[in-house]
């Protein structure tokens, strides 16, 4: 289940990609399949070890084209272990809402991104996230949980302040918003209650089968209740005088 729309966020074979806060690796795997040279970084060592296993399995199965590479590593988003201008593409998906120093993370991403490079940022959308917070304290008042809710204009302003030039936005995962509302209403750790179990089965069926009906429904509902807000931006080239 991808949050970044690669039809709006073009990726070329050979691009060097950083998936920052990669989690289980869904975007990193897609970039690898598309021929990129991928670095998947997360502070969670257990998840990184799983991502590394999947990279190895993909290579063994021939899922990535010749020239594509993939590395999984532990690291700190506020102190990235890479030189300036190391990457053509940076993706940070559903991460910034967890980090107190979000401006610091943006500064690090801009530092390691090449001039002319592209960045994709996804965060929980303000409206659906507000509903979750209103229904359940346990949803966000946990260690490592969500510490803020972004308004779209606020996130875009922070991206511009960091030196990025946003060029597009959209919403994603409308069908997942009601699922999280149900979980918050019945208890975020209560997966056995019937409405939650039934809706989860629907989502798994949708992800596996990708039926036209749910694809059309989600596209129609995304502007209204899409669970994620997605923003795309570029790092402008410096004017020659400034670069000199």
Q: What is the mean pLDDT of the chain?
A: 95
Q: How far apart (Å, rounded) are the C-alpha atoms in residues 109 and 80?
A: 8
Does the pLDDT of residue 21 top 70, yes or no? yes
Residue 161's pLDDT is: 97
C-alpha distance from residue 156 to each of 121, 150, 166 (Å): 10, 10, 7
Place of tokens 């949050």: 3
CATH architecture of 76-173+226-235: 3-Layer(aba) Sandwich (3.40)
- Percent of the chain at pLDDT > 90 equals 93
Residue 240's pLDDT is: 52
- At residue 241 the predicted structure's pLDDT band, cuts being 50, 70 and 90, is very low
CB atoms within 10 A of CB 44: 15
pLDDT tens digits along 91-122 = 999 999 999 999 999 999 999 999 999 999 99
Widest pairwise Cα distance in the chain:
64
Residue 128's pLDDT is: 97
Mean pLDDT, residues 120-144? 93
Residue 37's region, left for phi above 0, alpha for psi from -120 to 50, else beta, is beta
Does the pLDDT of residue 243 top 50, yes or no? no
Residue 244's pLDDT is: 45
pLDDT tens digits along 152-198 = 999 999 999 999 999 999 999 999 999 999 999 999 999 999 999 99
pLDDT tens digits along 56-85 = 999 999 999 999 999 999 999 999 999 999
- Give the number of residues written for the chain: 244
Are 167 and 234 a contacting pair, CB within 8 Å?
Answer: yes
- Nearest C-alpha neighbor of 33 from the set 51, 52, 11, 18: 11
Kindly list the domain boundaries of the chain, sorted by start residue. Answer: 76-173+226-235
């Amino acid at each position: 289940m991808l949050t970044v729309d690669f039809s709006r966020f073009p990726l070329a074979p050979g691009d060097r990609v950083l998936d920052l806060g990669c989690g289980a690796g869904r975007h990193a795997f897609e970039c690898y399949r598309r021929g990129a040279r991928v670095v998947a970084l997360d502070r969670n060592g257990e998840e990184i070890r799983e991502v590394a296993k999947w990279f190895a399995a993909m290579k063994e199965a021939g899922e990535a084209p010749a020239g594509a590479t993939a590395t999984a590593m532990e690291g700190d988003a506020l102190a990235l272990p890479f030189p300036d201008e190391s990457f053509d593409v940076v993706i940070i998906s559903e991460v910034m809402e967890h980090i107190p120093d979000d401006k610091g993370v943006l500064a690090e991403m801009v530092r390691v991104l090449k001039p002319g490079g592209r960045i994709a940022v996804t965060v929980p959308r303000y409206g659906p996230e507000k509903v979750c917070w209103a229904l359940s304290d346990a949803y966000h008042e946990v260690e490592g949980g969500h510490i803020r809710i972004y308004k779209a204009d606020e996130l875009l302003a922070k991206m511009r302040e960091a030196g990025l030039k946003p060029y597009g936005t959209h919403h994603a995962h409308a069908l997942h918003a009601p699922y999280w509302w149900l979980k918050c209403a019945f208890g975020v750790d209560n997966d056995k209650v019937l409405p939650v179990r039934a809706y989860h089965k629907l989502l798994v069926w949708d992800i596996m089968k990708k039926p036209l009906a749910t694809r059309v429904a989600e596209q129609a509902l995304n502007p209204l209740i899409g669970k994620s807000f997605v923003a795309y931006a570029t790092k402008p080239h410096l004017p020659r005088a400034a670069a000199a």
